[in-house]
Structure 1
Amino acid sequence: MFDELDDGARTGVWVALGVVAFVLFGLLGGLAIRQIKPAAAPLASAAAPAAAVDLDALLDVPLAGDLAGTLYFEVGQSGLTQADGPAVLAAIRGAADAAPARRLVISGFHDASGDPQMNHDLAKQRAIAVRDALVGAGVARERLQLRKPASTDGGSADDPQARRVEVHLVD
């Protein structure tokens, strides 16, 4: 077949065959690389949503939004009280259901007396208890965020305002 062609035509055929071979090897190489890398791709895509929204991160923002409810705790305790807890949680759930596009920010408070780190941890545990109770009541966990615990001004351990958790609806 090549004997009948002149040198220019013969060169053209070889160039065309070379281009076809180059494209074919490129495609096969790309497919081989895709087969080697699938284990790394899901890890990167699975890590991206977790990094985008950390549900346990403490927000360090000013208190804002509409107050949906306030829960009070016993001295040194992080468990919800049975006296007003269920009614306040139901009211917060109602407010959350009425505003499905808004998030709920949960803020724990503590007084300035005693060990600051222990007070901070107790206020955080109280906020987590409220968050878990709201999740149990049917509020989507993705809508709930914890705010960094704050100290009340001038309060003492006997002051109920120093042992509260507020839930605010924010945009």
Structure 2
Amino acid sequence: MFSQDDDGQQGLVLALVLGLVVFVTALVIGISLHRLHRAQPSGPPPASSIALAPAAVPVPAASTPVPALPEVSQAIQASQAAADAASVKVEQGVVRFYFASGQAELAAGAVDAMTDLVKAAKGGRTLVISGFHDATGDAVKNAALARQRAVAVREALKAAGVPERQIELKKPEQLIGGSDAEARRVEISLQ
């Protein structure tokens, strides 16, 4: 059997462990609230942060630490900004120019991405420029913007030395399905 001293020591150890757990929990909650309060702007939230739904944030596994909500919000906004930025990709001989929302300016490095196509055009091949737009909003404005983007690509090709007679500009096409970034693109292919 246990003596009263053992029971007293066990009670003391249990009280210390419980107190330590409560202290650490309160400390973590306090730090989280402090970071949350410090990261929030003083005025009303911007419209872009209102649209973010907590359900859109993937739930991490139980063993991974959960970042504070403002950090997640900033990460989402950064990924949206990156997705909206102009860029250029070359895939299987097709150069794809992705444009920022509402913009018709080519991304940095666009001329470098067209080097092989310019060489092919100087060798007598025809370059076909296809513009795309999405189905949301005003269809006439979307088609006009897609045309402006295709013309910007054509002008870049002409500036690189491709004769206009070797450039075919197709009518902009509406993209059904896919992402907004895919809809904001112009492609150049060889014919």
TM-score range, shorter chain: 0.5 to 0.7
Give the deviation of 1:67 after TM superposition. 4.7
TM-score under structure 2 length normalisation: 0.48
- Alpha-carbon distance between aligned partners in 1 of 2:134 and 2:119, rounded to the nearest angstrom: 30
1:151 matched to 2:174? The reply is yes
1:132 aligns with 2:155: yes
From 99, 102, 117, give the equivalent of 1:76: 102
Give the residue type in structure 2 aligned to 1:78: A
The CA distance in 1 between the partners of 2:93 and 2:148, in whole Å, is 20
2:115 matched to 1:94?
A: no
Instruction: In structure 1, list runs of 5 or more residues that go unmatched.
Output: 1-65
- Give the residue type in structure 1 aligned to 2:171: K
Counterpart of 2:107 in structure 1: which amino acid? Answer: T
Number of aligned residue pairs: give it. Answer: 100
Deviation at 1:166, TM superposition (A): 0.6
1:47 match: none
Deviation at 1:105, TM superposition (A): 1.2
CA contact (8 A) 1:68 1:95 kept: no
CA distance in structure 1 between the partners assigned to 2:95 and 2:104 by the alignment? 17
The alpha carbon displacement at 1:96 in A equals 2.5
Contact kept, 8 Å, 2:121 with 2:166, in 1: the verdict is no
Q: Which runs of 5+ in 2 are unaligned?
A: 1-91
CA contact (8 A) 1:69 1:91 kept: no
In structure 2, distance between residues paired with 1:69 and 1:75: 19
Query: Given that residues 121 and 127 in structure 2 are in contact (C-alpha distance below 8 angstroms), is that contact kept between their aligned partners in structure 1?
Result: yes
Q: Percent identity?
A: 46
Aligned residue for 2:164? 141
Greater RCO between the two (CA within 8 Å, min separation 6)? 1
One-letter identity of the residue aligned with 2:100: E
Residue 169, structure 1, aligned to residue 190, structure 2: yes
User: Please, what is the CA RMSD of the aligned residues?
Assistant: 1.7
Which of structures 1 and 2 has the bigger CA Rg? Answer: 1
Residue 9 of structure 1 corresponds to which residue in structure 2?
Answer: none
CA offset at residue 89 of structure 1? 2.3
Note the alpha carbon deviations across 1:88-124, whole angstroms, 9 max, x for none.
2223213333xx2321111111111110000000000
SS in structure 2 at match of 1:148: coil
